[in-house]
Amino acid sequence: MCRAVAPYTNQVVGVDLSEAMLEEARSRSQTWKNISYVHADFETLATEFSAGSFSLCLALFAVCCAESAETLNTLFRGIAAVLRANGRAIIQIPHPSDSFFRERSEWFRDVDRLDDYFAEAALVKRELRTTEDEWLLVGRYHYPLSIYVNAMIRAGLTIDRVIEPKASPEVVDRWPDLAREARLPSSMIFVANTMGDGKRG
């Protein structure tokens, strides 16, 4: 994502808790002079960076790693704190309903099956399939949609738009077993901004 964004901005900072991930990212980004990587915990953004340091924050499948609702609140407060006035946040989460659809995906397999949509901070392990047909074991914490939205509101983020991405006809033509993802959502994207006067909620 850092390399995808780099051509459109002066500076990109990638944050990760894993030194191994950062080492891999640095090795792949050597030709990009405007990308730097920081070893930090996403929960401590507000202490790692000065207030108003960034105009855009991308949190793609990151906040679902929060182990509690209070941690989730901390994450969103940190995002709001490091953004400038009128800064923008793009936050992508696994769709809270995707484990409850009867039709199973060909691209992930739940190891843990949820039976309570309203469960908070329920650890869900699943295997994700790559385009090379490898299966990777990952984990996330489930929250109902209201928990995510209310945490953003409490942090002072204004949600401008909600997107439920779906596989396009062109993608399904290339990978026919993504037809389920053309009918049922697997993720959600929130496009949000900070209050124009720089105050936090």
The domain locations on the chain are 59-194
Q: What is the pLDDT of residue 196?
A: 54
CA distance linking residue 48 with residue 39, whole number of Å:
10
Q: What is the pLDDT of residue 99?
A: 87
Q: Which residues of the chain have pLDDT under 70?
A: 196-201
CATH of 59-194, one of 3.40.50.150, 3.90.220.20, 3.90.950.10, 3.20.20.70: 3.40.50.150
CA distance linking residue 72 with residue 147, whole number of Å:
9
